[in-house]
Amino acid sequence: MLTQLSIRNVVLIEKLDLYFDQGLTVLTGETGAGKSILLDSLGLVLGDRASTTLIRAGANQASVTACFEVIPTHPIFSQFTEQGLEIAEAAESELVIRRVITVDGRSRAYINDQPIGISFLREIAQSLVEMQGQYAQVGLMDQRTHLLILDSFGVSSTLIEQNQNAYKRWIEATAQLAALKKTLEATAKEEEWLRSSVKELKQLSPQKNEEIELATQRKNLQYNERKLEALSSALNLIAPQDRRAFQPAQTLLNASKVLQRLLPSVSNPEGSSYKEEESVQEILEALTRAEESLGEAETILNRLINTIEINPQKLDTIEERLFGLRAISRKFNVSINELPLLLDDFEKQLLNLDLGNHEVKTLEMEVHTLRRQFEETSENLHKERQNVALQLQTSVEKELKPLKLEKARFVVSFTSLPKEAWNYTGKDQVQFLIAANPGVPPAPLNKAASGGELSRLLLALKVVISRQSTLSALVFDEIDAGVGGATASAIGERLHRIAKTVQVFAVTHSPQIAASADAQFKIAKTINEGMTFAYAQKLNRQERREEIARMLAGNQITDAARAAADSLLDHKKS
């Protein structure tokens, strides 16, 4: 509920702090006293368009602050979460909304001292306060709310939930089908390229880690060729095949033969001295060792040459394979090691294309089935709504008679939505219609009744649906226009009835409505030092008596008017 309204520098109001309780609160006062300023101030803090004309003369800015007590389960808190606002929860959470406008035309809004946008302010205000006036009705005047109102009046929540679930399943399956078709369409456009790519990759048949293995084999074969070439060259130098070439072994043998002539022999026992013989012998032994080492080296070279594997054809095959893999990896812009995965992916895409066509048919059948289920639940919901609509019509028309609208007819009109407009609420479009006079076809609320008739019709609707409302407060502006006596009493009685579940404010000139209130504020003006000020005063029992007597008799209050006021107030107590 609205607990406090603080106004600063708005038109004729310099400073005003009003405190409210639950129930029906009326605002009374003479015409032009400033009641509209209070409504304008409330509208401003609820997101109405800001105008510098609202700023009191001589002030730099105007501000309005409204305090609400809202239960933590109120749907408004989900809106705060979506906006990233941190609102502390308690048994009764306090919301403080403040709106400021400055003389340069700028406007700012805050909720619990956190800045918010004006559009969001309007959004949350709709779930807090609804203002009903003769010419500016909202809420019930918005056709988009009519279906929700009808459902909340008595439509089975089980049917509503079944319909929502059926719609959700149908829409999800439809979206899945559309996504699959889109994927298949994209794959089908590349089918020829995919098949040629798969054929090319299969012909090459790349293996995992094949590049490393081929490169290693290629490196080993190339090394063996270089090794064989080096060993063969060394062997040819040691033991050349060409007899005309330098023969190291033969050279060593020839040197030994020459030196052996220097050694003593039987024919020449005294051919050399002992020392010379010893030197020659050492040389011969060295030559012998060299000859043996050379022979050993030749043997080793031959053995190594015979063990080396050389396969030019295999090397060519490996290089051709390696170059082919590298070429195709560049073509598909992947590494050689990723080629097997690429082939697997291409094959899966082709397989999915074949399977997808079958899956499309299966999904199409499922979508068709789910749509039929949604249509069935929507039809059941439609029938339930029609039954509840008759109850709502009867309940509203029952309230119209005491409000001097006994000849009016209230109609809940149903229209089937086109398929593309079906939604989680079903296939129904609901609109409240009114025929204010006999013989006149029902028409939309804002076109079929005068301002006073419309206000009373909306009051009747509010009486019927008030228990389902999540609003914190309802505001009625001069709902008594054009009526009096018994009709005004009936209006006051119904306002009081609504106020048992929703806090109600009413701006009224009717003493009957004023007497029905739980609290009454008198709005008046005063002049101080040439400046006009508007103020509000909460009235006690005696003050209410005088104010209601004034409303009955005018400026000349008589004892009869006071007695009538007492009668009205005493009737309210009973």
Same domain, 522 and 563: no
Of 96-105, 113-122, 345-354, minimum mean pLDDT range: 345-354
* Region 179-198 average pLDDT: 79
More confident residue, 407 or 269: 407
Distance (Å, rounded) from C-alpha 452 to C-alpha 445?
Answer: 12
Q: Give the pLDDT score at 266.
A: 46
Same domain, 43 and 66: yes
pLDDT at 487 over 90: no
What's the pLDDT band for 100 if we cut at 50, 70, 90? very high
Same domain, 553 and 483: no
pLDDT at 491 over 90: no
90 occurs within a structural domain:
yes
> CATH number for the domain including 70?
3.40.50.300
Same domain, 110 and 63: yes
Question: Encoding tokens for residue 484?
Answer: 């009096």
Residues 287 and 252: beta-carbon distance below 8 Å: yes
Q: Walk across the sheet containing 519-528 and list its strands.
A: 129-132, 473-477, 503-507, 24-28, 519-528, 531-538
pLDDT at 146 over 50: yes
Q: Give the pLDDT score at 269.
A: 53
**Look-up of token digits 């209070």:** 38
550 occurs within a structural domain:
yes
pLDDT at 499 over 80: yes
Q: Give the pLDDT score at 239.
A: 74
Total domain count for the chain? Answer: 2
Q: Give the pLDDT score at 245.
A: 66
Q: Give the pLDDT score at 427.
A: 94
Same domain, 19 and 65: yes
Same domain, 479 and 568: no
Highest mean pLDDT among 140-144, 169-173, 204-208, 223-227: 169-173
Same domain, 478 and 574: no
523 occurs within a structural domain:
yes
For residue range 258-293, what is the model confidence (pLDDT) as tens digits?
A: 777 777 654 455 555 556 677 778 887 887 888 788
Q: Average pLDDT over the chain, rounded to whole?
A: 83
Same domain, 45 and 97: yes
pLDDT at 112 over 90: no
Instruction: Tell me the residue range of the domain where 544 lies.
Output: 540-574
H runs (alpha helix) in 401-450: 445-448
Q: Give the pLDDT score at 30.
A: 85
* Region 170-188 average pLDDT: 86
Q: Give the pLDDT score at 574.
A: 55
**Look-up of token digits 């305090």:** 67
183 occurs within a structural domain:
no
What is the H or E stretch that residue 505 is in? Answer: strand 503-507
Same domain, 482 and 562: no
Residue 522 CB neighbours (<10 A) = 22
149 occurs within a structural domain:
no
Question: Encoding tokens for residue 467?
Answer: 């228990």
Contacts of 351 (CB under 8 A, 6+ apart): none
Same domain, 8 and 65: yes
Residues 310 and 224: beta-carbon distance below 8 Å: yes
Q: Give the pLDDT score at 520.
A: 93
Contacts of 500 (CB under 8 A, 6+ apart): 23
* Region 226-255 average pLDDT: 75
Of 70-74, 195-199, 385-389, minimum mean pLDDT range: 70-74
Q: Give the pLDDT score at 137.
A: 47
Of 118-132, 350-364, 383-397, 497-511, minimum mean pLDDT range: 350-364
* Region 456-484 average pLDDT: 78
For residue range 324-380, what is the model confidence (pLDDT) as tens digits?
A: 888 888 888 888 888 888 888 888 877 777 777 788 888 999 999 999 999 999 999
Q: Give the pLDDT score at 265.
A: 58
Q: Give the pLDDT score at 312.
A: 76
298: exposed, middle or buried (C-beta count within 10 Å: 0-12, 13-18, 19+)? middle
Q: Give the pLDDT score at 161.
A: 93
Same domain, 531 and 554: no
Same domain, 48 and 7: yes
What's the pLDDT band for 27 if we cut at 50, 70, 90? very high
312 occurs within a structural domain:
no
pLDDT at 92 over 70: no
* Region 39-51 average pLDDT: 89
52 occurs within a structural domain:
yes
381 occurs within a structural domain:
no
Instruction: Give me the DSSP letters along 272-335.
Output: S-HHHHHHHHHHHHHHHHHHHHHHHHHHHHHHHHHH----HHHHHHHHHHHHHHHHHHHHHTS-
